[in-house]
Chains A and B, each alone.
Chain A
Amino acid sequence: MLSASVRRTGLLAPTVITLFVFMVLPMGLMAWMSFLEPGTYGGVQWGHYSAKSYIQFLYEWDLDDQLVLNTDYVGIFLRSFLLAGGATLATLLIGFPTALYIALKDEKARNRWILLISIPFWTNLLVRTFAWMLLLRNGGLAEQFLSSIGLVKEELNILYTPTAVAIGLVYSFLPFMILPIYTSLEKMDWKLVEAAFDLGANRWMAFRRVILPLAMPGIVAGCMLVLIPALGSYFIPELLGGGKSLMIGNLIQNQFGASRNWPFGAALSFALLTVVMVTMIAYNLRFKRAPGADK
């Protein structure tokens, strides 16, 4: 019989090697490439180091090679955070009452609701985003409906705006908010809420003083699950925002498409990854849990 540690190494090797070679190494390579000079027709100039990509984030070079402040990219970063943060807040406002409603149902109804919430979660997001284009575009169904009840007189003009992107983000990530909150509410001992009622709390007070604090881990987890992918989303702003580099994701993709500036694309990706990692570490420190998938 093999010794325990030899067997364990053998069992772990395929996963660890795959993840290391095709996930960790590429991330490192990406960080390294962000410090290289861009090639003229895409690619990088190996061995030519520079911090250009990071300077480029705030400044541009004018015709005389002078650094001039350029707030375009900062603006895109800020807009990304605003849209992602706003979407997180909106999903929380819709998601918490929904989770509470489901958690208060009897078991059969609860399972049915959770199935219904999970189905969009597993169906193709690209296709569901496309469905919103059908709804929101001029002459689309939302416009037809709103004009039939007299709310809109002319064209809706909502597709290809930040509003459309916000609607799409909230829609896409709503299940990510509902499910973890539901999980924490479902595990909750409702006797505690009964105790609060018994001690004279009305519904609002019981909600604020007992339910909300006990659901906090679920709320925080839900916010992370919405905020992180929303920050890095690419095709939602691309399709609903009309390809105008509304968010970081579009800007990054652009560096590998039209702009052909790989180091800048790598730098933007690395910056986004850093923001996400810092948020995750802060979350783990605050909630004292081991990092990673092992939850």
Chain B
Amino acid sequence: MTTSVNPLWRFRGVAGTAWFAMVYLYLPILILIVLSFNANKVATIWSGFSLQWYSVVLDNPNIMRAAKNSLIIASCATVVSTVFATLAALAMSGPTFRGQSVINAMLGLPLLAPEIVTAVASLLFFLAIGMELGLLSVLVAHVVFCIPFAYMPIRARLEGMDPRYKEAASDLYATPWATFWRITLPLLMPGVVSGAMLAFIISLDDFVITFFVAGAGATTLPVYIFGMIRMGITPEVNAISAMMLLVSILFVILSWLVGRVKQ
């Protein structure tokens, strides 16, 4: 629509609500970021600009360890879930077969089930099979819920791919194997990249499931922050929270720019 200037399309109250939504969404984020630079020891009273809480955060070995855990788990979960999801998407985009709807339902389950339910089920399962709660249990749980997120953009990309490209490659003497490496995979790449980015950020941000299945040694950043918040609102929490926000915002903008370049 290019008619936003056309008074015909001015529905009453719509613009006001939209701007209200924007303020509602961004006000808390902005305030958190501003307060993270606050020199005052009381988290919500402003008394001047300072970076001291960031250095406190960076000097805290527990936070650093949690951040390291988060990165290890997110990276591994991303690689594994993206590879699995890509293979599955390739199979699912072929001719229809029996049992396809069951597999679809399985792929939908981690998205549909409330996180707390998945968390409880995973915890009970790991305890029942006697698996030690630690980095591995967290990684397994993350791979499970990352698969559908990685799968969706890859599948959508495959779905939108003109079947003529494959036919054209075949017409131009490419064997099925050559067609896959030279045509299908390069064309699929934007989907794989956005699937991987989604999986990474979902894994990095997850709290509820990790909270349940992480043993003592596998605390991730969100779990650690949760513990800090429950101890009380401190400027240190502001700083680490602001850092997490900035990382995700940068990540989203980056993926948006990647998407734009690809077009």
Contacts and interface: CB of A to CB of B under 8 A. Distances in A.
A–B contact via C-beta, under 8 angstroms: yes
Interface of A: 1, 4-5, 7-8, 10-12, 14-16, 18-20, 22-27, 29-30, 33, 43, 94-95, 97-98, 100-107, 109, 113, 115-120, 122-128, 130-135, 137, 139-141, 171, 174-175, 178, 190, 197, 203, 207, 228-229, 231-235, 239, 243, 248-249, 252-253, 256, 262, 265-266, 269-270, 272-273, 276-277, 280, 290-294
Contact of B103 (A12, A131, A139, A174): A12
Given A29-B125, A122-B201, A273-B117, A101 B226 contact: no
27 contacts: A11-B88, A11-B91, A15-B85, A29-B124, A29-B125, A30-B120, A94-B24, A100-B11, A101-B15, A101-B17, A104-B3, A104-B11, A117-B25, A122-B251, A124-B248, A131-B29, A135-B31, A178-B21, A203-B12, A232-B115, A233-B114, A233-B116, A235-B207, A235-B208, A243-B230, A249-B116, A291-B101
Contact of A29 (B107, B116, B121): B121
B121 A292 contact: no
A98 B120 contact: no
A124 B67 CA distance: 14
Given A15-B84, A134-B32, A190-B1, A20 B44 contact: no
Contact of A276 (B15, B113, B144, B201): B113
In the A-B complex, the 5 residue pairs with the closest CB atoms: A232-B114, A292-B104, A292-B108, A131-B28, A26-B125
Interface stretch (B58-66, B148-156, B165-173, B184-192): B148-156
B37 to A, nearest CB: 14
B124 A293 contact: no
A113 to B, nearest CB: 8
Nearest to B221: A124
B74 interface: no
Contact of B125 (A11, A25, A232, A280): A25
Contacts of A228: 112, 114
A228 B172 CA distance: 50
B32 A293 contact: no
Interface of B: 1-4, 8-15, 17-18, 20-22, 24-29, 31-32, 35, 43-44, 83-85, 87-88, 90-92, 94-95, 97, 101, 103-118, 120-125, 127-128, 140-141, 143-144, 147-148, 151-152, 155, 176, 201, 204-205, 207-208, 212, 222, 225-226, 229-230, 233, 237-238, 241, 244-245, 248-249, 251-253, 256
Given A24-B109, A123-B244, A131-B32, 16 more contacts: A10-B87, A11-B87, A15-B84, A22-B125, A23-B106, A26-B122, A33-B128, A123-B29, A124-B241, A228-B112, A235-B207, A269-B120, A276-B113, A292-B101, A293-B155, A294-B155
Nearest to A108: B2
B25 A174 contact: yes
A97 B14 contact: yes
A30 B29 CA distance: 37
A134 B46 CA distance: 12
Interface centre among B104, B120, B207, B237 (most CB of A within 10 A): B120
A115 B63 CA distance: 30
A121 B258 CA distance: 18
Contact of A123 (B9, B11, B122, B249): B249
A276 B116 CA distance: 12
A94 B17 contact: yes
Interface centre among A24, A98, A140, A291 (most CB of B within 10 A): A98
B91 A124 contact: no
A197 B8 contact: yes
Contact of A273 (B26, B114, B249): B114
A187 B207 CA distance: 35
Contacts of B21: 94-95, 98, 117, 174, 178
A131 B241 contact: yes
Interface centre among B91, B148, B225, B256 (most CB of A within 10 A): B91
A129 B97 CA distance: 44
Contacts of A12: 87-88, 91-92, 103
A157 B88 CA distance: 51
Given A104-B9, A124-B205, A134-B35, A16 B106 contact: yes
A109 B102 CA distance: 40
A149 to B, nearest CB: 16
A113 B245 CA distance: 19
Contact of A269 (B2, B116, B237, B238): B116
A134 B43 contact: yes
